[in-house]
Amino acid sequence: MLHHSGVATVVAVSVLSLVSTTSAQWLTQPTAGIPRLPDGKPDLSAAAPRSVDGKPDLSGLWHAGPKWDTDLKEIDVQQWAQEQARQRLANPAAPGWSVLCLPPGPMVTFSGPLKIIHTPQIVAVLYEVPNNFRQIFLDGRSLPKDPTPTWQGYSVGRWEGETLVVETTNFTDHESFRGATRDARVIERFTRVAPDKIHYRFTVEDPQAFTHSFTGEMPFHRTDDAIYEYACHEGNYALRGILAGAREQEKAAR
């Protein structure tokens, strides 16, 4: 049974952040492709749109949240991963992606709008935070056997009925996935259940970090918002403080 994410937050293995509260940016330019009623409001009873190959079309600008559920329990996390999570909670300024402005990974985290561009051969996902993108290949290729590890891994997708199933592996070990290792395997399922809604579900497999796989789910809601440029280092004083503190420690050690 899935439950709300309190336990996962305590052990710092939560993989989805709360939805951004950014308000609509381009109200005078409604998003194209959404079935609408005569008064201009979205027609929530309309069927989900289809792409040129007849599959559900995931294209659009989406907001995730505001709540997600998971079946992960604290006892499911290996002891070393629990300790790593506690250290991160105790030292939020430790050099991580948000301090060093490196890409987070894998990108099943959402803190702001994301834009999905869906073609029969590839799905591209553009993220406002941290001004990053992701590719999901739909051309029938297999996962590479020995690729160069990347922050978000390597993703291939296939259709199971009305659901796009995405498998991602080959993560870098520079940014831990909330306790997961570079050998983690993430399975995502995107099901467009209405013109304005995608049901999103993910499963994480990593025996080194978790005693068994765990699953989480949440809705994506279509929005008329816009993606803004995100400049991580703009106003970023954390790194300056870290470097200044390190220099003081070096002086003290002389």
Distance CA 152, CA 174 (A): 11
The model's pTM = 0.77
Q: What percent of the chain has pLDDT over 90?
A: 28
The whole-number pLDDT of residue 20 equals 38
The whole-number pLDDT of residue 8 equals 42
Q: What share of the chain is helix, strand, coil (3-state, %, to 5)?
A: 15, 30, 55
Q: Residues near 11 by Cβ (< 8 Å), separated by ≥ 6? A: 74, 77, 82, 85, 179
More confidently predicted of 108 and 191: 191
More confidently predicted of 141 and 231: 141
Q: What is the mean pLDDT of residues 84-95?
A: 71
> How sure is the predictor about 106, in pLDDT bands with cuts at 50, 70 and 90?
low
Distance CA 85, CA 177 (A): 10
pLDDT above 70 (res 16)? no
- The DSSP symbol for 235 reads T
List the single range of 21-25, 56-60, 70-74, 185-189 with lowest mean pLDDT. Answer: 21-25
Domains and CATH numbers, the chain: 51-224 (2.40.128)
> How sure is the predictor about 10, in pLDDT bands with cuts at 50, 70 and 90?
very low
- Tell me the CB-side half-sphere exposure of residue 39, using CA atoms within 13 A: 2
The whole-number pLDDT of residue 244 equals 85
Helix (H) or strand (E) holding 249: helix 238-253
The whole-number pLDDT of residue 1 equals 62
Q: Which of 2, 16, 1 is nearest to 69 (CA)?
A: 2
pLDDT above 90 (res 224)? no
Q: Is 86 helix (H, G, I), strand (E, B) or coil?
A: helix
Say if residue 52 is exposed, middle or buried (CB neighbours under 10 Å; 0-12, 13-18, 19+): exposed
The whole-number pLDDT of residue 70 equals 82
Report the range out of 34-43, 89-98, 174-183 with the highest average pLDDT. 34-43
Tokens of 105: 């990974």
